[in-house]
Amino acid sequence: MKIADRYVLMEFLKIFLLSLVTLMVFYEMVVFLDMVGYFVKFGATTDMVARYMLFKIPMGAFHVTPICILLASILTMGSMSRHSEITALRAAGMSLARISAPVLVASFVIGALAFLDSEKLFHLAARESNRIYYEEIKRQPRKGLFASERIWYKADDGSIWNIGNLDTSKREIRDISIFRFDKQGTRLVSRLSAPFGKAGADGWSLAGCVERTFGDHGGFEEVFSDKCLLPGDVITEEELKTAQLDPEEMNLEQMRAYIRDIKTKGYDPTRYTADMHAKIAFPLINIVMPLIAIPLGVRSSRRGGAMIGVGVAVVTGAVFWFMFSMGVAFGQTGKLAPWISVYAAHVFFSVAGMMMFAASERN
C-alpha cells in the first residue's frame, strides 16, 4: 500500500469510527427514551433493560453505517481538498478516482460486513429483543407462535386460532381454523373453518364459514354459513402482529423459503418480496454513498469548513432515505415491481455520483 493510500484510508477510518460511536450512542439514547415509559410501567429490572439495549446494538450498527460512510467520505475528501492535498496528489499524476480508491474499497468491505451482520446477527438480535420485551418486561404469556409458516394463537376465551396468512396492511386473514375446547380445556368441542376474514369495527368478519360441533361419542354436526362475526376483543390485530414473524427476524434464506411457501399456497408474496430486496439493498447503500459523497466533499470544501460538509451529508442522506423508503413502500403495495422500486434510489445516486466524479476529473 502506498503512503498516500494509507494516509487517505486512515483519515477515512478515523472519521468513520468516530461517527459510528457517536451515532450508536445517539441511537441507543433514542431507543431508551422511546422505551423508558414502558420500562417504568412494567417494572423492568436493570438486567432486563441492559439486555434489551444490548440486543439493539447489531440493529443500530446496521442502520447507522451508511450515514457514517457518507459523513466520513465527505469530511475526508473535503479536508484534503481544503488543505490542497488533493491538488498536490493530482499534480503528481493521480486522478480523483485513484486518490479515493482506499475510501471506495473500505466502503465495500464495510458493506460486506453490514450484510453479514444482517444475516448472522441482526435477525437473531431482533427476535431476542422482542422476546425480552414481551415475555420478560411485559410478562405476557406467549400466546402466539409462528411455526411451519402458519400462525398459532391462543385467544382470551381459550380457543386456538390457526391462520395461514395475515396481511396487516389490508387487515385480512386467510385459511382460518378456530378450535374451541370445553371448560376444562381437555376436549375439542368445535372447529370453525373459513377461507377468508377481515377485521372491522364490529370484530372479525369471516366468509364461507363451516362449523363442526363434536359430540361426546365421536359424532359431529356440520353447519355452513356465508358469513359469521366474531368479537374483536377475543383476538386483536395487535396481538396477531406479535405472533407473526417480522421480516426483521428472518435472514434471506428464511425469507426465500417463506415466500416460496406462500406462493405455493396461493397467497400474495409482494410485501415479503419487497422486504427481501430491501434486506439486500440496504447494505449496498454503503457502496453507493461514497460515489456521491466524494465529489460532494471536494466541492463543499470550496464553500466552507467541516460544518458545511456535515450539512451536505445530512441533506444527501435525507434525500436518499426518502427515495429508498418510497421505493420500498411502492414495492410492498405492488405499485412497482420490487426489483425496480427498491433499487431505484441506488441507481439514481450511483449515476449522479459517477457524473459528478467525471465533472470533478475535468476540473
DSSP character string of 250-272: --HHHHHHHHHHHHHTT---HHH
pLDDT at residue 110, as a whole number: 95
Grid coordinates standing for 173? 386473514
pLDDT in tens, the chain (363 residues): 588 889 999 999 999 999 999 999 999 999 999 999 999 998 999 999 999 999 999 989 999 999 999 999 998 988 888 888 888 888 888 888 888 899 999 999 999 999 988 888 888 888 888 889 888 888 765 555 555 457 777 777 778 888 887 777 777 888 888 888 887 777 888 888 988 888 887 788 888 899 888 877 767 788 888 888 887 666 766 666 655 666 777 788 888 887 887 777 677 788 888 888 999 999 999 999 999 888 888 876 556 566 676 777 888 888 999 999 999 999 988 888 888 999 999 999 999 988 888 887 776
Whole-angstrom distance, CA of residue 199 vs CA of residue 177: 16
pTM of the model: 0.75
Query: How far does CA 338 lie from the centroid of its chain?
Result: 15
Would you state the pLDDT for residue 80?
A: 87
Whole-number pLDDT of residue 246: 67
From residue 42, give the alpha-carbon distance in Å to each of 38, 140, 235: 6, 11, 22
The C-alpha R_g of the chain, in whole angstroms, comes to 26
The predicted structure's pLDDT at residue 112: 93
- How many whole angstroms separate alpha carbon 180 and alpha carbon 55? 38
Find the helix packing angle between 270-300 and 344-362, rounded to 10°.
20
Degrees to nearest 5, angle at CA 279 with 103 and 247: 150
Q: Output the CA–CA distances (angstroms, integers) from residue 256 to 115, 126, 149, 252, 261, in the order listed.
A: 16, 19, 12, 6, 9
Q: Which domains, from first to last, does the chain contain? A: 3-138+268-362 (no CATH), 156-234 (2.60.450.10)
Return the pLDDT at 326.
Answer: 93
Given this model, what pLDDT does residue 140 score? 66
Q: What pLDDT, on the 0 to 100 scale, is given for residue 309?
A: 67
Q: Please give the angle made by the CA atoms of 308, 310 and 314, to the nearest 5 degrees.
A: 115
Q: What is the pLDDT of residue 306?
A: 61
> What is the spatial distance between Cα 166 and Cα 147, in angstroms, rounded to a whole number?
13
pLDDT value of position 345? 93
Which three cell numbers mark 277? 430486496
| pLDDT for residue 70 | 92
Cell digits of residue 187? 376436549
Instruction: Sort strands 220-230 and 203-214 into parallel, antiparallel or unpaired.
Output: antiparallel
E-state strands within the chain: 144-147, 150-154, 160-167, 172-181, 188-200, 203-214, 220-230
Residue 190: CB partners within 8 Å, gap ≥ 6? 179, 180, 211, 212, 213, 214
